[in-house]
Amino acid sequence: YTILSKVHSDRNVYPSAGVLFVHVLEREYFKGEFPPYPKTGEISNDPITFNTNLMGYPDRPGWLRYIQRTPYSDGVLYGSPTVENVGKPTIIEITAYNRRTFETARHNLIINIMSAEDFPLPYQAEFFIRNMNVEEMLASEVLGDFLGAVKNVWQPERLNAINITSALDRGGRVPLPINDMKEGVYVMVGADVPFSSCLREVENPQNQLRCSQEMEPVITCDKKFRTQFHIDWCKISLVDNTKQVSTFQEVIRGEGILPDGGEYKPPSDSLKSRDYYSDFLITLAVPSAVALVLFLILAYIMCCRREGVEKRNMQTPDIQLVHHSAIQKSTKELRDMSKNREIAWPLSTLPVFHPVTGEIVPPLHADSYDNTSMPLMQTQQ
């Protein structure tokens, strides 16, 4: 059900389409490619990371994934080849980086995808395992235990692991680093017989209601997984390819579909010359002329149409001018009289400095002067 290989230089592997492919990049093999520690007797434990890409391209094929948790753990290439890649050799460049010496070593992995006679299996089920990470599930013994539990529940003649996907690739969140929490992993398996009654129990209305209320559904065969695998039965997916109906529909022309305009004819490389003088006049000269006319009109109104004081006096009646002049003279006389009076100011309004020189002056009255009967405002004589 799975192909497990080790790293060697320019190695050929032969996975089958629609069957899980796993390839382990072992650090122990690449340690021989790098120089040992300068001191003899020390155990080499260099941090090594891997970079994998399709030859001639910066990334891997769409069906192939890679994971390595830390520089001190092995890397894993895994995925499910597709039928479209059958018969096409896929060369993966594997570059190992030694983080101690900054040296690199490169090897090629040639993947020859073979066609499977029994692919695709018509009945496929996808399980979500909550207590596993993807690299833990990719181990051959762990995956074998899981397929054995599924086989006991399903009882198929042929059972294959189709694909394994991390929950983080499905939009899951990174778990908190407490209580040894796992990110979760989706495992898709395929069989040649219909689903068992135990797997069909998740489709019961009672279990669907419990799932909608975020409660654990009641599954009779859950105990066969619970010892090692914690299955989220609300996220199980059952696909019966024998009942899949083609959804292809012929396109009917109608509103919203443009008519066929024939073959596209791009413009010629030689462009004709164009005179932009008229565009210049429209965009710059015309607005400038309008602004100039408005400026001249405003200048004539402001400068040439001033009436002045003489014209105002000529249009004002004489009696109004006499009244205005009399009011100005009376106001000036009152101001002069208020400046020349010699009576003493009330103590409440007496300044502490001279109003002209600004020097501090003593009060006009002696300390023994009785000012209790003096009003605040003196009567004008």
> φ, ψ for residue 238 (rounded to 5)?
-115, 120
3-state secondary structure (DSSP) of residue 3: strand
Q: Of 95, 10, 31, which is closest to residue 58 (Cα–Cα)?
A: 95
Query: Tell me, what's the pLDDT at 189?
Result: 92
Beta pairing class for 90-98 and 21-25: unpaired
pTM: 0.59
Amino acid sitting at position 202 = V
User: Which CATH number does 6-113 carry?
Assistant: 2.60.40.10
Q: Count how many residues are written for the chain.
A: 381
CATH 2.60.40.10 residue ranges of the chain are 6-113
**Model confidence at 226: pLDDT above 90:** no
CA distance 290 to 26: 81
Residue 136 in tokens: 């833990």
1 vs 71 pLDDT, higher one? 71
Share of the chain above pLDDT 90, in %: 16
Matching residue, tokens 């010359």? 273
pLDDT at 28 over 80: yes
Query: Distance between CA 62 and CA 68 in Å, rounded?
Result: 18
Identify the band that residue 381 occupies on the pLDDT scale cut at 50, 70 and 90. very low
In 3-state terms, the chain is what percent helix, strand and coil (to 5)? 30, 20, 50
pLDDT of 172: 82
Tokens in use for 286?
């015309």
Tell me the C-alpha distance between 93 and 51, whole Å. Answer: 8
Backbone φ/ψ region at 219: left (φ over 0), alpha (ψ -120 to 50), beta: beta
* CA dist list (Å): 111 to 5, 23, 54, 59, 127: 11, 10, 11, 15, 28
* Cα gap 17→84, rounded to integer Å: 9
Residue type present at position 148: G
Average pLDDT, the chain: 80
Report whether 49 contacts 68 (CB < 8 A). yes
Indicate if the pLDDT at residue 179 is higher than 70.
Answer: yes
Q: Does the pLDDT of residue 1 top 50, yes or no?
A: no
SS3 58: coil
Q: How far apart are CA 343 and CA 320, in angstroms?
A: 37
Asked whether the predicted pLDDT for residue 4 surpasses 50, the reply is no
